[in-house]
Structure formats: structure tokens, C-alpha cells
A = this chain, B = another copy of it.
Amino acid sequence: MYKQLFEHIKKTCPNYPEEDLNLLLPYFESKIITKKSLFLKVGDVCNTAAFAVKGCFRYFTTNSEGEEFITRFAFNDYWVGEIQGMIHGTPSMVSIEALEDCSVLTISATDYNYLLQNSRPFADFIEKKFAKAFQSAEIRSSEFAESAENRYQILLSKFPDITQRVPQYYIASYLGITPESLSRLRKKSIS
């Protein structure tokens, strides 16, 4: 479990000192998040972040018609939670739900902020992660310049096995179309 977290960190920061990795250990706790449970609810302040060792999550909001809209997915080796909210104490704009039983390593907002202040390597790591997240958010919105079909293809190219792990109606929600439309679209692109 920790090995996977360390690999993840080293992939982002190849120079992360080995001894600093070990310093992280006491701050993390291994947990199972059961399928369908909410890790975070809209309006709540995120007080825990989780590194997904195994599993799958959806982030979602509700539009003015009361319909759910999936803003993103998170899989193995993703961080789950609202890092921003943990630092600034701002309430979350999204809810996060486990789509499977997920095995995670959690860290409290308190410990997270402590590490951020007291471990340069950790702060650098988070800074990089955050930059990446920002970029993803920008990409996400510009994808709406594409047709639904293109958006679907883009999603597939990023997550080739997503159709095996995520129900199709959630994928449709992510794409901003109905499940029926996605079904037709898939039929068309197969033939």
C-alpha cells in the first residue's frame, strides 16, 4: 500500500528524498471506503484527503434543474478530496462518491497542512499535483468545444478501461448527454 503511494510520489518528484518518504508514514491511515458511500458532500469542508490505492470515485454537482452532473472520475493512484478546501477551509462545490469498494490511504487536513508547512519535498509534490489538477480542469472545460462523440473518444483514450469500471449512465453524465444518446453514439462508432 505505502509502496504504491511512494511510487506515485517518486513518479511525480523523482528527487523526493527516500528518508522524507518514510517521514510521511505516521500521517497516513489505511481505510476501505465502501461502494456508494459519500467521501465528501457538497457544502461540507473537506477534512480528509485520500490516496486511492485501488478503486474508483465520481465527483458530481447538481445543476439548476436538479440533475446530477459528473465533473470527474478518480481511479487508482489518484488523490481524492478537495485539496483546496483543506488548505483554505472553503466548502466543497462537489460531492464525491465511491463507485466500488475502495482501498485508500487517508490523511487529515490538519496533518496535511502540517506537512505542507514543515516538509519542503511534500510541499513541492503537492504543488506539482495541484498544477496538474489545474491543467486538467482547464482541459476539461475546453473539451466542450468538441462534439459529444469526440468527447467520448477523448475520454476513452484517457481511460481505455473506463467502460469496464463505470456504468454507462455515469459516463453519459460526464459527457453532458443522456444515457440513451451515449448508447446510440456507441452503436454508431462501433459499426
Query: Which residues 135-165 of A sit at the B interface, judged by CB distance below 8 A?
Result: 135, 137-142, 144-146, 150
User: A185 to chain B: which residues have CB within 8 Å?
Assistant: none
User: A69 to chain B: which residues have CB within 8 Å?
Assistant: 142, 145
User: A150 to chain B: which residues have CB within 8 Å?
Assistant: 64
Say yes or no for A189: interface residue by CB 8 A criterion.
no
Interface flags, A85-110, vs B, CB<8A=1, else 0 = 00110100110000000000000000
The one of B64, B90, B140 in contact with A141, judged by C-beta atoms closer than 8 angstroms, is: B140
Whether the pair B176, A138 counts as a contact (CB closer than 8 A) is no
Shortest Cβ distance from residue A14 to the other chain B in the assembled complex, whole angstroms: 15
Query: Which residues 116-148 of A sit at the B interface, judged by CB distance below 8 A?
Result: 128, 130-131, 133-135, 137-142, 144-146
Q: Once the chains are docked, how many angstroms separate the CA of A119 from the CA of B61?
A: 37
Q: How large is the interface on A (under 10, 10 to 19, 20 to 34, 35 or more residues)?
A: 20 to 34
User: A22 to chain B: which residues have CB within 8 Å?
Assistant: none
Copies of this chain: 2
Query: Which residues 58-75 of A sit at the B interface, judged by CB distance below 8 A?
Result: 61, 63-64, 67, 69, 71
Q: Once the chains are docked, how many angstroms separate the CA of A135 from the CA of B134?
A: 9
The one of B64, B133, B142 in contact with A146, judged by C-beta atoms closer than 8 angstroms, is: B64
Whether the pair B84, A134 counts as a contact (CB closer than 8 A) is yes
Shortest Cβ distance from residue A7 to the other chain B in the assembled complex, whole angstroms: 22
Q: Which residues of A contact B (CB under 8 A)?
A: 61, 63-64, 67, 69, 71, 84, 87-88, 90, 93-94, 128, 130-131, 133-135, 137-142, 144-146, 150, 176
List 19 contacting pairs A-B, 8 Å CB cutoff, sorted by A. A61-B142, A61-B145, A63-B146, A64-B146, A69-B142, A87-B131, A90-B135, A93-B135, A93-B138, A93-B139, A94-B138, A130-B130, A130-B134, A133-B134, A134-B134, A134-B137, A137-B138, A137-B140, A137-B141
